[in-house]
Structure formats: C-alpha cells, structure tokens
C-alpha cells in the first residue's frame, strides 16, 4: 500500500488522471508513458531483517552440510552432540556362562566323571560311556572318527558296511522288492514287508513302514520313479550298502543281524552307533573292534598323511570321551 501511495503522489505531480481504483501496474504504466520512471520502493527494515535471517539460516545450513561431508570423507563417525553421544553409549558387556553351566543337572553330574583333556583307551572309554548316560532311556553308544581324507575326491569318499557281531540294539524293519519267486525265502529270512507290484502301490501312497529296503538288480529300474521319495530318507537300495543283491534272503539276514552302513560326511567325520548302553563294555568293545577293522580296510591308497586324526565316544545325550588313536 505504501508503494501505491508513492505512485499516486508521483502521478499527481505529473498531472495524470489516476485514482486509487487503478492498480499499481496501471499507475506505473501511466507514469512510464509520461516519460518518468516509476520509483522503486526500498525494502523496509522489517523485510530486510527477515531476508537477513533467511540468509543466515541458509548460510549456517550450508556450512553444516560442508562440515558433514568433510567428516564423511575423513571417515569420522564420532557423535557430534552430547545427545547423540549419550544415545551411542553401549551398555555393559553381557556375561556368557561356560557351556557346562548351561547344561542340565543330569549332564553336569555325569560330566564330572570325564577328566578334561585326558585321552582314554578304548576299553576305558567304553566302560565310562556306560556310566555317563544322563538320559532315562537306553541310549545308543556312538563312535565319531575324524579322518584325514578329502570327501570331495571320489577315491577318498569313504562309504562301506559292517556287520556288528552283537547287533545295534534296534529293531530293524526290512522290506524286500523282488519277484514273486523270492518272496518265500525273504519271509523265511525275517523280512517284514515283501512285494512287487503291490509294493509299488504302497510307495505311491508314501507308506514307508520299513527301515531298510532290499531289491534285486532287475527290479532297481522300477524304483527310479521313487528316488526323490526314498533317497533323502536313506532308503534307496545301493550295491555298496549291500541292499541291492541277487541273494535276497542273505541280505535280509545280514540286515536283521546288525549290518549297518557308515559314510564320511562333508567335514570328513564318520558317525556310527555301535550298540546300546545296556550292552555293557564287553559287547560294545567287540562291535567297536569290528567297526575299526572295517574302517581301516577302507583306507585310500592315494591318501598322504594320517588316515585317522581323532576318535571320540559318547552316548546319545552324554559328554564326549576322547579315545586313543589305535587305528593308525
């Protein structure tokens, strides 16, 4: 409004016929037509002050941005304010209890029987294993052997079977997939499930009520359709494991008597259950000897260095017991 008043005063001095009803643009045009430039209104102190505040703020923001970029290039991530520093402070370091203290009472009690760092003989380890079962059930006694082989090499990928003289202590259900002429002999040998075409219908329904599947070589192609069902469960017959055999009755007898398969895993370790705690140390020792003899016979000829690195024995839920390396 102040600018309009100044323009009206200038127009009055020039004798122009303009009133307050005219707009500022119209008044300026009339003055310019009269040959006089319209006066430029100088900013008031209030506007100058506001413009100055905005300039200071923009300048401060630009400086902060430049400082931030400089710290970023220098890799300085330290907090720049007291509030940020307070929020960035970490709490006290959590205290982690030893693994033995995180175990159950039963485990800690039996673990006291095993001397830390001591390497036991096989007989001592098996005797100790029968006393360190914290579970209420008849646990399995397991042997874990770390080998010096490379499982990625075909000739060092250890896989074999062994017949444990005293069995495994488990009830093994054996199924036989063979021609009808073999059914009677398989049943006499103790097979739980015997069949040919009827057995395939059972597989189609995914009814796997067996632990070991024995098949004749001629019938193996028919099982190819069910490889994805049987393979991941370890039920696919394999010549190396003795489950692909022409003498079906013999294969069933061996499976029932305690013939088990073992193989090295990706970490070059062989795991095998050699019996139950209830067997006692003597029977477990006989089974362990049979396993180690079989393992020794599988030593690759191309292997350089130690074949067996470490051996340990444990029950299903018990502590590990280090054993002397008697295989090498």
Question: What CATH number does the domain containing 156 carry?
Answer: 3.30.190.20
| pLDDT score for 196 | 85
**Interhelix angle 2-14/24-33, nearest 10 degrees:** 30
- Find all residues with CB under 8 Å of 139, minimum gap 6, and list them: 133, 276, 277, 315, 316, 317, 318
Closest CA to 272 of 311, 308, 236: 311
Domain annotation covers residue 114: yes
Low-confidence ranges of the chain (pLDDT < 70): 1, 35-54, 77-91, 327-328
The pLDDT score that the predictor gives to residue 88 is 57
The reply to whether 203 falls in a domain is yes
Task: State the CATH number of the domain containing residue 246.
Answer: 3.40.50.790
Domain assignment present for 58: no
Kindly state whether residues 269 and 155 are assigned to the same domain.
yes
Q: Which of 286, 328, 294, 299 is nearest to 311 (CA)?
A: 328
In this structure, are residues 111 and 319 in contact, taking their beta carbons and an 8 Å threshold? yes
143 and 200 in a single domain? The answer is: no
Number of domains in the chain: 3
Residue 54 confidence (pLDDT)? 58
**Are β-strands 174-177 and 193-195 bridged in parallel, bridged antiparallel, or unpaired?**
parallel
pLDDT single digits (tens) 152-179: 988 888 988 888 888 888 888 999 999 8
How far is the first Cα of the chain from the last one, in angstroms, to the nearest whole number?
Answer: 107
* 86 falls within a domain: no
Same domain as 253, residue 177: yes
Q: Domain span at residue 301?
A: 104-166+260-328
> What does the pLDDT look like over 48-83, one tens digit per residue?
444 455 578 888 888 888 888 887 887 776 666 666
136 and 195 share one domain: no
Co-location of 307 and 292 in the same domain: yes
According to the model, what pLDDT value does residue 48 have?
A: 43
């Amino acid at each position: 409004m102040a600018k309009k008043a100044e323009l009206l005063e200038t127009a009055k001095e020039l004798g122009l016929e303009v009133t307050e009803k005219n707009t500022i643009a119209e008044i300026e045009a009339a003055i310019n037509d009269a040959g006089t430039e319209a006066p430029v209104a100088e900013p008031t102190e209030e506007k100058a002050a506001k413009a100055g505040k905005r300039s200071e703020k923009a300048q401060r923001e630009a400086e902060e941005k430049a400082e931030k970029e400089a710290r970023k290039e220098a890799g300085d991530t330290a907090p720049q304010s007291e509030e940020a520093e307070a929020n960035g402070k970490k709490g006290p370091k959590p205290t982690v209890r030893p693994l033995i203290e995180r175990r159950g009472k039963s485990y800690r009690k039996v673990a006291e029987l095993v001397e830390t760092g001591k390497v036991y003989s096989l007989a001592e380890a098996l005797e100790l294993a029968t006393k360190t079962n914290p579970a209420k059930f008849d646990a399995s006694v397991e042997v874990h052997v770390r080998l010096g082989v490379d499982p990625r090499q075909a000739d060092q990928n250890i896989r074999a079977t062994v017949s444990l003289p005293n069995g495994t202590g488990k009830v093994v259900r054996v199924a036989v997939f063979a021609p009808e002429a073999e059914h009677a002999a398989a049943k006499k040998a103790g097979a739980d499930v015997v069949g040919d075409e009827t057995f395939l219908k059972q597989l189609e329904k995914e009814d796997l009520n067996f632990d070991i599947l024995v098949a004749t070589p001629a019938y193996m192609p028919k099982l190819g359709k069910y490889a994805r069902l049987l393979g991941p469960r370890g039920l696919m017959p394999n010549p190396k494991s003795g489950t692909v055999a022409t003498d079906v009755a013999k294969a069933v007898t061996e499976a029932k008597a305690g013939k088990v398969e073992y193989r090295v895993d990706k970490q070059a370790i062989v795991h095998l259950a050699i019996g139950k705690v209830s067997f006692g140390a003597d029977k477990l020792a006989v089974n362990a000897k049979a396993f180690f003899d079989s393992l020794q016979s599988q030593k690759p000829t191309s292997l350089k260095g130690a074949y067996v690195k470490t051996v340990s024995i444990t029950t299903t839920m018990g502590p590990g017991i280090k054993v002397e390396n008697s295989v090498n």
